[in-house]
Chains A and B, each alone.
Chain A
Amino acid sequence: MWPKTVIIGLCASVGLIWIIESRATDVFLEATRPDFQKIPVGVVGIADAGGPDSPEGRIKLGARIEEVLKADLRRSLVFSLVDVAGLGVKASTLGTEPHPLFKQAAEQGASVIVWGKAGMKSEDKDADVNMEAYVYDAGSDEMVGGKRYVGSPSVARLMAHRFADELVFRYTGEPGIARTKIAYVAEQGVARELFVMDYDGYEPRQVTADGFLNLMPRWSPDRRFLVFTAYRHRNTQTIDMIELATGKRWTLVSLGGLNITPTLSPDGNFLAFASSYEGNSELYRMDTRTKAVQRLTVNAAGDLSPTWSPSGRELAFVSDRSGGPQIFLMSGDGTNVRRLTFEGDYNAAPAWSPRGNWIAYVCRTPRKEYKLCLITPDGQKRVQLTTGPGVDDSPSWSPDGRHLVFNSTVEGKSHIYMINADGKDLERITHIGTHNSAPAWSPAS
């Protein structure tokens, strides 16, 4: 018995009409906080404290950092941004103490006020960047505190990200997502290589340069490594691991046939993956310390794409044992297998939310479009998250469970998009390149 379908039309910034369909809107909103619980924050400004203009487009450092900070606070979904220009206070006139007028901030609808300044230590273009910012709580009429950062010009964005995460941590006790990263696959001529970028799409860095295919990266829980499928000499697949800081590489699995969809358990002790070396694609798990490999599935159909529950006790995976691909669940040791999805004839690429309450996956709609769906692990609630043209693939959750990244051909070329778990705020985060895919969101630090 489904409640009447509710259709909400939203205009995405890309100019598309993005329609969110929900069959259980009341339950659906559990995935994130409803808007009314957000903390209204007013950013007075990050004043420019001197130094040369930025290389890109003569935008002052303070304005650039302010823009990054505001975007981070908006994406946190913990805060909502409130315009406090009406207070008539300029950031450039402020020091470390709150302005007396901040007591009236509540009248502007802001319960938290942020201000600061940023600049370079000298006119030298490689000189250190300074940023300081402060927080006043209008609700309690209390100075909360501040931060003073110093670093090379290349870390200016990171300073804003750090400060945003400090604010999220101060008000929620959670580490925030502004310093998280996204690993992905980018086409490079005839090759597809691994890259890592900031969660907002900036600072992309190339990780592999094999000149052939590297696919479907996943993070280690400590964020130091990526595991992925590599094609050695083009003819065979292996599951490799690379250390981001050094580029050092290990081959973890080279069993022959397919060696795909590796994923480390939340504690890092097991690597689950699919291999076809015994005939058809089956699931295995490797103990990362002893390297003992244990087979988890036994049947004539294809089993692939394992994803761990946050406790590490269960796996969701794809199997076509009942015809088309469907999502199944089992215990981490391969026992207690049961089918989770029954709607539609193609459900694949599951990703278990870090909060445990949803599994995101790719669902084929009655119109034969490949879109994102969410289902609860008990199978009781299911919602379709995206609609429209194009193929959506590879959903991956933010560590706070409030967002997903995925790749989509909705605008033609495959690019990476971010969307809230309630289907709002669709945002494209890659803008260059011929084909970007398989995003994997890092754990928080």
Chain B
Amino acid sequence: MTTPDIPKEEETDVLAAEYVLGTLPLAEREAAATRLRRDAHFALAVARWEQRLSGLNAGYDDAPAPDLLPKIEARLFGVSPQKKPFWKSWFAGAAAAAALGVAVLVIFSPAPQPFTPLTTLAAEGSALRYEVALRGQELRVARIAGPAAEAGRVHELWLIVGDAAPVSLGLIEGDGVTLATAALGAGMVLAISLEPTGGSPTGAPTGPVLVTGVIENI
């Protein structure tokens, strides 16, 4: 939107401020989040607004938080906090409801399904890191540290299952991409290699493998 009296060159900075404030409607907010990943100038404007308005954070009161660390660590590191299968509590609930003759209406679901972190691709001695997350059939691969491929080269993502030849899942342009997934499973390996622009000409990795990660649980 344009506002009378706001010079055109201010539009980017005002949009950054509105993004930080959080007032944008969903579609515009999503567009701004995409731009944030691709446009370093915009990202800097957002970071500066986060700093400018950070004094308002004193207006948030503390609230006691439950200890969710075991769940978070299980999600990140694959340690199971307790062995109670989810179907047990579900089954107990369903049986109780049936016994009471209550019709159970399940309503799905106010919150959007978030991406679930799957693994981080990294290598010893390398600053490069990619975060891989899954939502249904979508695989999001985002570079979270280290440099992008130099001009004339591209990062290509591969799936390696057991001893089979790597299968290309796609090219990673810019800071990251969201790809349609193949069927992923625990123990499979994701790897990123450096390839010429346009991707590996042979269908197999031709450049060095830069980072890898194992899918621990899914």
Q: Do A and B bind each other?
A: no
